[in-house]
Amino acid sequence: MLSTIEAIYAAASDKVGWDGVLTRIADLVDATAAQVIHHSHPDRVGVIRAGIRTDPDAVAAYQAHYHRVDPGRRPR
């Protein structure tokens, strides 16, 4: 678990490292997929910045529509 936390900190400065981190996190929680999602509240845009084991059609659908109804995107 500690090595996963260290990998998260390392990936924060290296976009390429997120695939490995997301794989580790997904495996830890027995998930089928994992993503890092960025919401730009002023622009009302949601983008999946990194993801593993995610259907490309699902990514496109999220970015085109579902980011608008994602409960995690509420502005603070």
pLDDT, residue 76, reads 54
* For range 50-71, the mean pLDDT: 84
Q: Cα–Cα distance between 29 and 27 in angstroms, integer? A: 6
Residue 65's pLDDT band (cuts 50, 70, 90) = confident
* For range 60-64, the mean pLDDT: 84
Q: What is the mean pLDDT of the chain?
A: 82
- DSSP-assigned letter for residue 72: G
Domain ranges of the chain: 2-73
Backbone angles phi, psi at 74, to 5 degrees: -55, 130
Greater model confidence, 34 or 15: 34
pLDDT, residue 67, reads 78
